[in-house]
């Protein structure tokens, strides 16, 4: 089985379903393009987990993006997962301002910090939700967001290091098997408590089946087939040209003049996610405005 996968599970006697995501090669690919410091890499891998688990939870075709913007040392952290479960992630930060070696607490990134989830369906308009940043950990922020929303509650647990990441999500279902609200809430709280007992060492070394057996050995829990997840970018020459077109004619003319003054005969656009390079001659660029 591939090292990177998402795998759903369900509790036979409870109105709760879950999903477990393991990322290894994906984390390696994300880190290989930028060589992030350990604390940035750890958090960025959690963002990749979050995007994959959130994408799994929606019922429409499209992509899910989770993005953090701040006025602190971390100006941007972003991950997205598209319909075929390709994942990519990127961070922009100031190494001079970033405290090395320490875990990054989201609720200490300043008043201007914004955490958002964007869903882009293949058909229809995209929509965005703002996630309150009142907790240090991304998993807790997401659980708090679902608790405040009108949706059924969800829980998240993330474990990561520089090279590997594992995430678990639990989602409450409409009451069917257990019809007492108090009992339903008690069951959810109990599973939450069990998930917190999982150590990072266990999470990053055990199989999905072994993790679920370790956590929920007293429950009747069924694990479904695993589906592969992989690092992948959605950049293309067409999208790069669209980005150039969005600058407007005046800005593009200035860009061409700048390149000519430097002795270049093309405009080069690099993808920050995967470092794919696209080169366009000036006639191609000018043709965008004809």
pLDDT tens by residue, 214-228: 999 988 999 999 999
Q: What integer is the mean pLDDT of 178-206?
A: 91
122 and 140 inside one domain:
yes
Segment 16-39 mean pLDDT: 91
pTM, two decimals, is 0.86
Q: Which letter does DSSP use for residue 67 in this model? A: E
CATH of the domain at 272: 3.90.1280.10
Report the pLDDT value the prediction gives residue 275, as an integer from 0 to 100: 67
Domain count, the chain: 2
How many other CB atoms are found less than 10 A from the CB of residue 242?
11
Lowest mean pLDDT among 22-31, 44-53, 57-66, 109-118: 57-66
Mean pLDDT of 42-59: 94
Asked if residue 137 has pLDDT above 80, the reply is yes
pLDDT in tens, 86-95: 999 999 998 8
Tell me how far the alpha carbon of residue 169 is from its chain's centroid.
13
Last residue of a domain, one of 231, 248, 263: 231
Q: Which residue has the higher pLDDT, 79 or 284?
A: 79
Over range 108-131, report the average pLDDT: 91
Mean per-residue pLDDT, 159-173:
94
Instruction: Return the pLDDT at 122.
Output: 84
Q: What is the DSSP string of 172-195?
A: E--SSS---HHHHHHHHHHHHHHH
pLDDT at 289: 83
pLDDT at 198: 96
* Residue that finishes a domain, picked among 231, 250, 271: 231
Tell me, yes or no, whether 113 and 251 share the same domain.
no
Give percent of the chain above pLDDT 90.
54
Chain centre to alpha carbon of residue 1: 22
181/250 Cα distance (integer angstroms): 62
Distance CA 115, CA 223 (A): 32
Query: Which has more confidence, 150 or 40?
Result: 40
Distance separating alpha carbons of residues 255 and 213, to the nearest angstrom: 59
Q: Give residue 150's pLDDT.
A: 64
Q: Which of 129-138, 145-154, 189-198, 267-276 has the lowest mean pLDDT?
A: 267-276
User: Regarding predicted confidence, which is higher, 179 or 107?
Assistant: 107
What is the reported pLDDT for 2?
A: 61
Phi-psi label, residue 101: left if phi above 0, alpha if psi -120 to 50, beta otherwise? left
- Look at residues 231, 253, 273 and tell me which one is the last residue of a structural domain: 231
Are 259 and 208 members of one domain? Answer: no
pLDDT for 257 equals 87
Is 125 in the same domain as 255?
Answer: no
Residue among 58, 171, 27 nearest 120 (CA): 58
CATH code of the domain in which 165 resides: 3.55.30.10
**pLDDT value, residue 124:** 84
pLDDT above 70 (res 73): yes
Q: Residue 34 is part of which domain span?
A: 5-231
Q: What sections of 8-109 are H helices per DSSP?
A: 25-34, 38-57
Residue 33 shares a structural domain with residue 133 = yes
Per-residue pLDDT for 1 more than 60? no
DSSP structural state of residue 5: E
**Taking a C-beta distance cutoff of 8 angstroms, is the pair 55, 61 a contact?**
no
């Amino acid at each position: 089985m591939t090292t990177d996968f998402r795998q759903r599970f369900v509790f036979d006697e409870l109105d709760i379903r879950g999903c477990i995501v393991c990322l290894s090669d994906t984390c390696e690919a994300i880190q290989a393009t930028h060589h992030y410091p350990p604390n940035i890499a750890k958090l960025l891998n959690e963002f990749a987990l979050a995007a994959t688990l959130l994408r799994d939870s929606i019922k429409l075709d499209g992509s899910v993006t989770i993005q953090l913007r701040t006025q602190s040392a971390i100006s941007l952290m972003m991950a997205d997962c598209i319909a075929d479960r390709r994942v990519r992630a990127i961070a922009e930060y100031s190494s001079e301002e970033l405290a090395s070696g320490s875990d990054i607490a989201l609720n200490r990134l300043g008043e201007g910090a914004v955490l958002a989830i964007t869903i882009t369906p293949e058909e229809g308009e995209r929509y965005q939700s703002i996630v309150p940043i009142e907790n240090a950990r991304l998993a807790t922020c997401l659980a708090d967001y679902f608790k405040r929303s009108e949706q059924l509650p969800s829980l998240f647990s993330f474990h990561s290091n520089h090279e590997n990441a594992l995430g678990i999500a639990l989602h409450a279902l409409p009451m069917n098997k257990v019809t007492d609200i108090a009992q339903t809430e008690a069951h959810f709280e109990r599973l939450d408590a069990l998930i917190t007992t999982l150590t990072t060492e266990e999470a990053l070394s055990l199989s999905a089946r072994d993790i679920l057996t370790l956590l929920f050995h007293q429950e009747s829990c069924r694990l479904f087939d695993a589906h592969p997840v992989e690092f992948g970018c959605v950049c293309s020459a067409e999208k790069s040209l669209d980005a150039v077109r969005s600058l407007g004619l005046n800005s593009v003319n200035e860009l061409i003049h700048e390149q000519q003054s430097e002795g270049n005969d093309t405009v080069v656009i690099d993808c920050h996610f995967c470092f794919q390079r696209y080169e366009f001659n000036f006639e191609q660029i000018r043709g965008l405005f004809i």
